[in-house]
Amino acid sequence: MDLALSEEQEAVRRLAEDFVAREVTPHATAWDRAEEVDRGIVKKLGAVGFLGLTIPEEYGGSGGDHLAYCLVTEELGRGDSSVRGIVSVSLGLVAKTIASWGSEEQKRQWLPRLASGEALGCFGLTEPGTGSDAGNLATRAVRDDATGDYVINGTKMFITNGTWADVVLLFARTGDAPGHKGVSAFLVPTDTPGLTRRPVHGKLGLRGQATAELVLEDVRVPAGAMLGPEGKGFTVAMSALAKGRMSVAAGCVGIAQAALDAAVRYAGEREQFGKPIASYQLVQELISDIAVDVDAARLLTWRVADLIDRGQDFATAASKAKLYASEAAVRAANNALQVFGGYGYIDEYPVGKLVRDARVMTLYEGTSQIQKLIIGRALTGISAF
């Protein structure tokens, strides 16, 4: 077992570290206060190849393996989780899914644009009344027998990149079969008539991220917009989320690493009772707990990347990584805030934002409770659904 990074992977990590230091970290507080990331970051992410990682070069991607992808998403998460989310969704959930399930025409149409940052994608699964119960969608796509088109009606909620995206990977019910059996996937351009996007503001964390509600009223798409076979949309969604959980886990490692860096730096500078607080054992305990969580979460995440690159089953490992890393990020951010004391509670310092950004990681792309159900089902062979 060799846990050392290759020269190529180390070069990618340094590129991401330099990019974050130059393009992300200096603006993170301002973006958080304004509740809006500068949209120009998308083209910059595309220019350095971060939106095309693992996508074949023949479709405009930058290639690379999944560990390199994890290294980039970790660095982006360390700088600003709102920026990390742009990549995790447009590349991790949309572009990778098109690469796996798309027709040749769909790949040629969308992948070069998504990889370059010319276009951005969003993942339209969650609905106002359907979160964890993803197979019980209310959005419907009805086939028009006269034209062969599908007419879509419904509402999607909490959609990352929603107000910026050029294409929605949308999931809708196309048949009368119960549960997930009647769900299909579609690629819907966001300029299609009848599709309305409403920004979601006032979020606790990820405040700079473009989050939206999508309303579809008689949205008409051709039959060629369907991604994968009819009725297999739930399978498409779950395959996307399995890889997406690795990306979220890597972003959580980035949050925890940022918390560790901030806590160590501050503890060495802050003095109480005549000496740095880093000299006190209870502060050292807080810092050591963060450090262990960082290492454990990172190794669980790297294992998922290794399994994917070796072509082995990774879904349960991805749930384990996402569960542990998201909960670890919350613990790490809380411990860092404790090190900072009262100063951690104002946004002049970074740890308050880390606490707020970390909290949602236990909720989206499958709550911690859903991850436990997935892991338990895999171990016992008994489904809770």
Q: How many CA atoms, within 13 angstroms, populate the side-chain half-sphere of residue 254?
A: 30
**Amino acid (one-letter) located at 359:** R
CB within 8 A of 48, min separation 6: which ones? 15, 19
Q: Return the ∠ at Cα 321 (arms to 316 and 323), rounded to 5°.
A: 95
Cβ-count burial 15-26 (b if 16+ within 10 Å, e if not): bbbebbeebbbe
Determine the Cα–Cα distance for residues 61 and 50; give it in Å rounded to an integer.
9
Active-site residue, 365 included: yes
Encoded tokens for 124 = 């339209």
Phi and psi dihedrals of 65, rounded to 5?
-100, 180
- What are the angstrom distances between the C-alpha of 68 and each of 81, 112, 157, 256, 293? 18, 20, 31, 19, 21
Amino acid at 91: L
Instruction: Collect all residues with Cβ–Cβ distance below 8 Å to 206 and sequence separation of at least 6.
Output: 81, 82, 85, 356, 357, 360
Surface-to-core class of residue 143, CB atoms within 10 Å of its CB (0-12 exposed, 13-18 middle, 19+ buried): middle
Given 74, 127, 327, 365, the catalytic residue: 365
Angle at 291 between CA 288 and CA 297, to 5 degrees: 140
Report the chain's terminal Cα–Cα distance, integer Å.
Answer: 37
Task: Please list the active-site residues.
Answer: 365
